[in-house]
Amino acid sequence: MLFRSVSQSRYIANNFMGNKFISIGTGLASRNAQTTNNTTALPVFTSQAFYSALPFAAPIIDEYGIKPKFHLYLTEQSVGPLEYNSQVTPNTVLWYTPGTYCNTTGIASSGSTYGMGGYNERTKTLVACRATTSGTIEVHRWINKNRRLDNNLVSFQTFMSEAYAGTGGATYTKSAVLSYTYGRGTNTTTEANLNIKVIPMHDGRVALVRHTPSSGLYFSILDSTLSTIIDVGSNTTPQTSYGREQGNLYGVECAFSWDNNWMAVYAPYANYFPGALVMFINIANPTNLTTPTWYTWRYEQTSWGISLVPCGESGFIASNYASYSGTNGFYFDLEGIRTSGYSHDGTLISSGSNITSLTANVQSLPSGQSGSALITMPTYTDSVTLIQQA
């Protein structure tokens, strides 16, 4: 693998684990960016307004190889564009406006939700949720193939109002109040109930991932009619009891590969951010499986955190060093694993399995090799250097 530095102004990031910032594809590049720019970043925040808004960020899943220049700012009642390092509080529209954008809800949300939803540009689908700390959720979905969301409020208002009115074949759907308790137990924290990752997949279904402190990550799927939740699997037994209620730096996060077909959902393994529990989920589901391909990874490190950033078309790299100047890390070629059925060391691996034996892969990863391995990382000198895979 060859890496080279690129201009700091083209791509940025907005998520983090430990004291390391994580690129999840909030790039300042336009939607017409070249698909070969597999760029990652380690920026420094300068805007208090952006830092305060960050816990409410929800993802935008764009076309192949494109990272949009904004995320959603999304709560239980408001939505709007959240631009990286914005100096002002995000402007929003009240998506919960019955009779204009949605139907009257059957749920009284237990305070604010944190980015519980997302927008899929490929399917022109916007999803937003209301939720309670007793384990119930209500999902609202707007599909409008005549429009797209952009970084202005008018696009949001038009997109939702047309979908609600059924203009030009656009649709709006509201679920019933659903019991979603997988992995929750009796946990009533904000993290386990109001910070669920709710991701519109490419096949019309919705991925749900809950992080329950002291318990783990739990993956479920809501069907395309928004009526039935199927519990899929988990990655359990962390040491941390912390979640979003502890502050802006805490809680489960997600990232997307450069082809936008794979999602990584991750939370710290231990208190104060060390290690990681990770789920890799194939949101494209190209073979229309009842349960899309997914894998887990555990990094049971209690001394330092990791960075998890997209690398290549459908993979991620994770640091394995206590500071940003480290020189090695793990590589996960997820599409290679899915299509070959083998991890890097030749071990058979099936969907839902844990990617293990990383210590056996202490070697350079040959070009085109499938699986995961400990690889040599590019050297960089400060926290804002960008590395591009050539």
- Minimal CA–CA distance to 351: which of 261, 289, 299? 289
Closest Cα to residue 195, out of 120, 246, 238, 131?
131
pLDDT at 47: 77
Residue 253, token pair as written in the block: 């996060």
Please report, in tens digits, the pLDDT of each residue of the chain (390 residues total): 222 222 222 233 333 332 223 333 322 222 222 233 333 333 455 678 888 898 999 999 999 999 888 999 999 999 999 988 888 889 999 999 999 999 998 898 888 999 999 999 999 999 999 999 999 999 999 999 999 999 999 999 999 999 999 999 999 999 999 999 999 999 999 999 999 999 999 999 999 999 999 999 999 999 999 999 999 999 999 999 999 988 888 899 999 999 999 999 999 999 988 899 999 999 999 988 999 999 999 988 888 888 788 988 999 888 766 665 555 678 888 999 999 998 776 788 999 999 875 543 333 333 333 344 444 444 333 222 223 222
Beta bridge partners of 131: 137
- pLDDT for position 328: 62
DSSP string, 148-189: ---SSHHHHHHHHHHHHHTGGG-EEEE---EE--TTTTT---
In whole angstroms, what is the distance from residue 158 CA to residue 101 CA?
9
β-pairing, 60-61 vs 117-120, is parallel
The predicted structure's pLDDT at residue 206: 98
What pLDDT is attached to residue 51? 84
Measured from the Cβ of residue 351, the count of other Cβ atoms closer than 10 Å reads 16
CA distance 364 to 331: 10
Counting Cβ atoms within 10 Å, is residue 46 exposed (0-12), middle (13-18) or buried (19+)? exposed
Amino acid identity for residue 29 in this structure:
A
C-alpha dihedral, 281 to 286 to 287 to 293, nearest 10°: -10
Counting beta carbons within 10 angstroms of the beta carbon of residue 150, is it exposed (0 to 12), middle (13 to 18) or buried (19 or more)?
middle
SS3 155: helix
Q: What 3-state DSSP class applies to 33? A: coil
